[in-house]
Amino acid sequence: MSRYSPGVVMDEEMIIRLVVSPADIHPTEDRIISSALSSAESFGLSTLRSRYATEVDIIETAEEVLARATKNSGSRRYLVGAFEAPVALFRRMDANKKLTRVYGVYDTAMVNRRSHADVFMALSNFAGGARDKARKNMLRLLMDYFHPVRDFRGGLIARFGQDA
């Protein structure tokens, strides 16, 4: 646990993941793609813990994510929305009903972002093809918790959408 942490990430908590276009969107089908979750397999899928994330945290995170994505690509990036999903959804998802934990959610609070948490895939449990299947299954579950930019927290991140 980080020294800046408000505490251990609990199953009852909700976590927020911003969705960036075009990086997280299929180029011709206008849908979120499973590779939007692939950073959980390497350096961690950055999220914010809802109960601790202030509006300022969310806005600053959106600005940072978009600035980094735009700089890396050389073209404008925008938000399409956010997932706000229960931690338990990640922790209780199992692979092929074998009760093998797929994801862990860990407190990774930072001095300027106390609400930060990372999601990691338990890589030792999965070969390459199984990872892709697990990612697709997770995305399917997460879609019930997706909020377009105009709907997320009363339009808090709408100004970061395509039409802004």
Calpha distance 162→157 (Å, rounded): 11
Domain carrying residue 19: 14-157
Please give the span between the terminal C-alpha atoms of the chain, in angstroms, as a whole number.
Answer: 37
pLDDT of residue 92: 80
Q: Does a structural domain hold residue 163? A: no
Q: Can you tell me the mean pLDDT for 61-82?
A: 90
Count the Cβ atoms, other than its own, within 10 Å of residue 51: 13
CA 151 to chain centre: 17
- The fraction of the chain above a pLDDT of 90, given in percent, is 59
Q: Can you tell me the mean pLDDT for 49-76?
A: 92
What phi-psi label fits residue 155: left (phi over 0), alpha (psi between -120 and 50 degrees) or beta?
left
Residue 97 or residue 22, greater confidence: 22
What is the domain count for the chain?
1
Q: Does a structural domain hold residue 29? A: yes
- The fraction of the chain above a pLDDT of 70, given in percent, is 91
pLDDT of residue 98: 59
Q: Does a structural domain hold residue 73? A: yes
Q: Does a structural domain hold residue 32? A: yes
Q: Does a structural domain hold residue 24? A: yes
pLDDT digits (tens, 9 = 90+) for 93-148: 765 555 567 889 999 999 999 999 999 988 766 676 778 888 888 899 999 999 99
Name the pLDDT band for 28 (thresholds 50, 70, 90): confident
Whether the pLDDT of residue 23 is over 90: the answer is: no
Q: Does a structural domain hold residue 7? A: no
Q: Does a structural domain hold residue 6? A: no
pLDDT of residue 164: 63
What is the overall mean pLDDT for the chain?
89
Question: Which residue carries 């600005």 as its tokens?
Answer: 63
Least confident of 9-13, 31-35, 153-157: 31-35
Name the pLDDT band for 70 (thresholds 50, 70, 90): confident
Q: Does a structural domain hold residue 4? A: no
